[in-house]
Structure 1
Amino acid sequence: MQPKQHRRRYSRRVGGALLAALGLATGAAVMGTIPPANALAQDAAASSRLSIGIFQGDLAENANVKLGSWGSGRAEQSKENIFVGDSSIRLTTQGFYQGGRLDFTNPVDLGSAFGNPNAYVRLRVRFSGASGAQNSFDPGSGETARRAASPFERMRFLLTMADGTTYELIRPVSIAPTDDPDAYVPITFPVSALVKKGADGKPGPVPSGDGAKVKQMAVFGDRYAVFNLGEIGVITDETEFSVQPLDLPPVFVNDTISFIGSAEGGATTLRYTWDFDASDGIQADSEGRVITHVFKKAGKFTVTLTVTDVDGIKKPVTTTSEVEVTA
């Protein structure tokens, strides 16, 4: 089903080109024969894909989703800002323990997702107003654009299963830049992250039966905000990281330089770390997609950006470039 509204606004990309600059936001098998290897590979890939609908804009009286409050927060039906179906959820959160909840009449079975390391829960959310946008200045055009941004640094998710088991996640919020501050954007987390890891760093046993069926899902932010929830589902994502080479202009000592990184990573929550002098080893001198840095001395320096998966599922990638600092 295609979204009724905002579909044109939403970008599936988690990022675009990596920019950093001075002051810049810069085949079928024949019966009775052995299938060819590529056909077997395609079948294996297809079997690993999955799509599970949790909320798809249906809040009719006989729908599977019922809304409720958690503490002083709330979740309410809205006929505005619809992403798919005939409704969205207007969710008010006042912190990590005041939010909204979705109760499922028939618990949603995530059994096939728990055993798939590439399965992600994806929420489509729309942040609007002053808390849901940020200004981005482009010195090249001399214009300031408003882009979608999250009012939260972290969000909390609490899932209650049909057997009474609860899973809690507190996640960093990282969304892709978009030219529309009112766009629906994806918030994701891997299903495997729900299974707590032991002292050895390995996840616990994979849930099954009623232990893999979601009876209730509560959503919270780390501060007060009101936003729309347009869709929730489980998807498969095997996208590898990709970045473009850095292209840095000459800069001057003691100038404040703005760096903005962006990477393609599918449904992955990304972590950006920067190193500004490779001669003393690569380390995290600064962290964040948007950061500033001041070079204190003249010379040539190798700037390294490393993009990692906060859940460690995908392999990290790096890109480097030399910057010449003039006294």
Structure 2
Amino acid sequence: MKIWIKTTTLAAFSLAAVIGFSQEIYAPTRTAKDQGIVLSSWGSGTIKEADEAAFEGATSIRVSSRNFFQGGIVQFTNPVDVSAAFGNKDNLLQLMVLVPAGNKTFGGAGGGGKFGGAGIPGAGGFPGAQGPPGAGSPGRGGGGRGPAGAGGGGGGQRGPAGAGGPGAGFPGGAGFPGGQRGPGGASGPGGPGAPGGAASTAVIPPLSMVRVVVGTSDGLMSEAYVDLSSTFAGKDGWAPAGIPLKAITGFERTNKKITSIAVAGDSVSTFYIGQIKIVNDPTAIYGEMNTRADLNLAIGDEYTFVGSGFGGATALKYEWCFDAGKMDGVDAEGQTVTRRFRKPGEYVIKLTISDVYGLKKPYSTTIKVTVNP
């Protein structure tokens, strides 16, 4: 028997209630131009100011990314000095991020063959034209066939698949059949070309990780990766992607005067940045499981455990031990895990929620599971 229960969730919290000091870098209530901010593309990604979503005010920054090396760059005409904030481990670089809901699927149809040329002996067909970027299967052109006594037309060559960014989902190009006219023989009607490749689909995974590269006025670069899947979404879906300044790799070597912040995602996606600031977040981590009561199960029962945690703007990690009463260790990681109980006995299930950067004290909670023979 499979059991899945989600009966408790943490109440919605206001980040403003737990975060004190802040130093604004990109304010949501003013345009980028008014703040001396210049937006530029990174690789083949795009970035621009947009009005279809806003954390506060009327605009935000829209970023379209393909991978960790293609996104957008926020450049500051006047460097932002955060050296005073760097000394406190509770100070974070926080980006308010909105990821539109949905996991889209695009289909790319294979190219269809055209009718072959006249049935006169001839040279090989022309290769198929290259399709535009996408996941479509390549088309295949078929050579024409003449009537008895006439030579066969040349066979069309396979057209190459359309090249493009991952998961772009545009259809591949159609293959062009060949069949040049050659000497001798009467013309016969061309035969139909071979059918195109089968339609294919590309499932684009949702955005879960954002790469942040910080440039400083001394010419140095530093970076960090933010796991959005463990952040707490608040007002209208906006989530605080917080990175402790001390957890930004290489930032300690810089002069702490920020001239640019580049962002890119781990998948083909579009997301919005509604605010960038330095915040002080000493919020202690705490959380709970989807059940607070001890469980009674039968041998072979499968149970899905769900953890819910809150640590302010801090990204969290969830670790599970399914027999904490007898041994310590980590048996599974993730906010949701499923366990099948195959032996009778009593088990202590322990959930540990921790700061992914290791700067805050972890929080643990347990329940007891009795498996009846």
- After TM superposition, the score normalised by the length of structure 1 is 0.72
* Secondary structure of residue in 1 paired with 2:79: strand
Identity %: 33
Q: Which of these residues, 287, 304, 326, is aligned with residue 350 of structure 2?
A: 304
Q: Cα distance 1:179–1:119, how it changes in 2: closer, same or farther (>3 A)?
A: closer
* Secondary structure of residue in 1 paired with 2:103: helix
Q: Give 1:264's aligned residue.
A: 310
Moved more, 71-80 or 171-180: 171-180
Shift of 1:291: 1.3
Q: Give 1:9's aligned residue.
A: none
Determine if contact 1:258/1:293 at 8 Å carries over to the other structure: yes
Q: Give 1:240's aligned residue.
A: 284
Q: Number of aligned residue pairs: give it.
A: 258
Q: Give 2:367's aligned residue.
A: 321
Determine if contact 2:231/2:315 at 8 Å carries over to the other structure: no
Q: Give 1:54's aligned residue.
A: 25
> Residues 288-308 of structure 1, C-alpha deviation per residue, up to 9 Å, x if partnerless?
111111111122111011111
- Aligned partners of 1:130 and 1:59: how far apart in 2? 28
**Amino acid aligned to 1:153:** S
**Amino acid aligned to 1:105:** T
- Aligned partners of 1:306 and 1:129: how far apart in 2? 29
Q: Cα distance 1:232–1:195, how it changes in 2: closer, same or farther (>3 A)?
A: same
- Aligned partners of 2:229 and 2:52: how far apart in 1? 25
Q: Give 1:166's aligned residue.
A: 221
Q: Give 2:244's aligned residue.
A: 190
Alignment of 1:146-295 (within 5 A): 151-176=206-231, 183-196=237-250, 204=252, 207=254, 211-244=255-288, 246-295=292-341
Determine if contact 1:83/1:184 at 8 Å carries over to the other structure: yes
Determine if contact 1:175/1:185 at 8 Å carries over to the other structure: no
Alignment of 1:13-52 (within 5 A): 22-26=3-7, 50-52=21-23
- Aligned partners of 2:233 and 2:252: how far apart in 1? 37
Q: Cα distance 1:60–1:100, how it changes in 2: closer, same or farther (>3 A)?
A: closer
- Aligned partners of 1:61 and 1:321: how far apart in 2? 54
Q: Give 2:151's aligned residue.
A: none
Moved more, 270-279 or 166-175: 166-175
- Aligned partners of 1:92 and 1:261: how far apart in 2? 31
- Aligned partners of 2:56 and 2:371: how far apart in 1? 51
Question: Structure 2, unaligned stretches of length 5 or more?
Answer: 8-18, 105-204
Larger Rg: 2
Determine if contact 1:174/1:187 at 8 Å carries over to the other structure: no
Q: CA RMSD in A?
A: 2.5
- Aligned partners of 1:323 and 1:111: how far apart in 2? 50
Q: Cα distance 1:103–1:179, how it changes in 2: closer, same or farther (>3 A)?
A: closer
**Amino acid aligned to 2:248:** L
Determine if contact 2:230/2:316 at 8 Å carries over to the other structure: no
Determine if contact 2:215/2:258 at 8 Å carries over to the other structure: yes
**Amino acid aligned to 2:243:** F
Shift of 1:266: 1.4
4+ runs deviating over 6 angstroms: none
Higher relative contact order (CA 8 A, sep 6+): 1
Does 1:77 pair with 2:49?
yes
Shift of 1:317: 1.8
Shift of 1:195: 4.7
- Aligned partners of 2:33 and 2:295: how far apart in 1? 60
* Secondary structure of residue in 2 paired with 1:251: strand
Shift of 1:242: 2.1
**Amino acid aligned to 1:96:** F
Determine if contact 2:295/2:368 at 8 Å carries over to the other structure: no
